[in-house]
Structure 1
């Protein structure tokens, strides 16, 4: 498939939206199934965090639907639940689906409602189609390269969506997790000259608050571990197509399916209006922190 086949890409986006809603329904059915342990079937042994039956069922559904329609010859598949992180080998296709069937597993288990799912299609390492569905909000955000970002509700209503126009650091709100902050990260966000902090679980959930103009800045800083391709590929595109920016603090873009799926370093997502300034400030603050 050619990257310039806009009609074909529009068909694939329509398929991805349908698959996103179907997977959202699976997650929601488990989420509302009650508090019985066997309904969640939590496996705490996974090194990178717990896995639930909902993870696996949603993953199975997404892969089956996409592969049934698109096959496996032209399209590769990089999913959190099936990718071998230890091998760290890129999927050998130009077109690769990058899938997180349940982003925010801890939020799912703890019943905060702040979980979501990510489906992205990347071409040569950069996302061109993205779905972020938030089941408990009844919303599905979607984007395709060059065509903007939209939010779809369960009743089928579709609305274009844009980031805020707040344009100085002192006006901006940072979106962070309620926990998961090591000392280095805490020092960084405390030193940034932002207006305030807001809280949300899951990466997709955090980026959705920037789209909804509730916040403006999200930062990922690796420590002992790092976020992975499937955490960022879909959220990046829905943000950038809504007018935001998403880069390393150096200003470099993020490439996916490079072998090592772990995204080490500092990545910054903003509403775009003073992105470069915030990157410079973050880099300077980290340099100071690391020299102490």
Structure 2
């Protein structure tokens, strides 16, 4: 097993290469070759040629560098071919294009998530924001860093805002349901910011542009690849990311869905907000 720092040095160029592929589709002639298809019959879960191209690129690069003997691989675009939990000690969890709808609609708010998980918890993570030309990465207990295209790197930390009335909530434009809308109305944050991808939302918290993000599953739920990499870059930047009851998220459990209420924050009012969210949802369900 290579040291995590050595693995990160392999991963960073892969993040930049994957970003280049997505930008070539987003800005270039390849935009006409997206070949948008849908994973369900309701047109709610799109996949494009860009998703598949980046997925293949990341998997090929990682497997060429690290092989499949010591590592398992779970990707949004290939998990249907897998049977339950991956039994490898170290498992890569990959979302080659988080925010496909935003990619198609050209909001620019899309991301790439790559996490390395051990014992159901992330140990290393990278989130690329191609349109900002930035990589965010973290190793457990090593802090979070941002790297720009010119090679400059610096550590990043969440805000110190601790007055609930001063906190900014980052929300989704599309993944909403009646229970979530009720919860957000009752929490009454006076400041809200809309961002497309989960990775983008968590980066907004890391960059101190926001402080809170809430996910509440309905008929469906976010998946491992939506959360694993964003969680680690947030927590290593000083934030928190848990279920409403305070329990940690777990990955590669055999169920790729992250059910229930999840709250990400700058950590300053986290427990209080989790308890309040639990109470509000209980009232709604009764």
Residues 99-149 of structure 1 show CA distances to partners (whole Å, capped at 9, x for unaligned) of 000000000000000001000001111001000001001111000000100
In structure 2, list runs of 5 or more residues that go unmatched: none
Determine if the alignment matches structure 1 residue 84 to structure 2 residue 80.
yes
User: Counterpart in 2 of 1:58?
Assistant: 54
Select the residue among 227, 236, 253 that pairs with 1:232.
227
Q: Is the 8 A contact 1:191 1:285 kept in 2?
A: yes
The whole-number CA distance in structure 1 between the counterparts of 2:131 and 2:171 is 19
Determine if the alignment matches structure 1 residue 71 to structure 2 residue 67.
yes
SS of aligned partner of 1:227: coil
Q: Is the 8 A contact 2:221 2:258 kept in 1?
A: yes
Determine if the alignment matches structure 1 residue 163 to structure 2 residue 164.
no
Per the TM alignment, residue 35 of structure 1 is displaced from its structure 2 partner at its CA by 7.8
The whole-number CA distance in structure 1 between the counterparts of 2:190 and 2:203 is 19
Per the TM alignment, residue 196 of structure 1 is displaced from its structure 2 partner at its CA by 1.5
Superposed, 1:241-256 pairs within 5 Å as: 241-256=236-251
Aligned residues: 284
In structure 1, list runs of 5 or more residues that go unmatched: none
Q: Is the 8 A contact 2:24 2:30 kept in 1?
A: no
Select the residue among 96, 106, 109 that pairs with 2:91.
96
User: Counterpart in 1 of 2:181?
Assistant: 186
The whole-number CA distance in structure 2 between the counterparts of 1:267 and 1:26 is 31
Residues 8-61 of structure 1 show CA distances to partners (whole Å, capped at 9, x for unaligned) of 110001111111111111111011124854x11111244661111110010001
Q: Is the 8 A contact 1:102 1:115 kept in 2?
A: yes
TM-score by length of 1: 0.94
Per the TM alignment, residue 180 of structure 1 is displaced from its structure 2 partner at its CA by 2.4
User: Counterpart in 2 of 1:117?
Assistant: 112
The whole-number CA distance in structure 1 between the counterparts of 2:40 and 2:179 is 25
Q: Is the 8 A contact 2:21 2:50 kept in 1?
A: yes
RMSD over aligned CA atoms reads: 1.4
Q: Is the 8 A contact 1:128 1:144 kept in 2?
A: yes
SS of aligned partner of 1:163: coil
The whole-number CA distance in structure 2 between the counterparts of 1:168 and 1:252 is 24
Determine if the alignment matches structure 1 residue 42 to structure 2 residue 46.
no
CA gap of 1:90–1:170, structure 2 versus 1, over 3 A, is same
The whole-number CA distance in structure 2 between the counterparts of 1:179 and 1:124 is 32
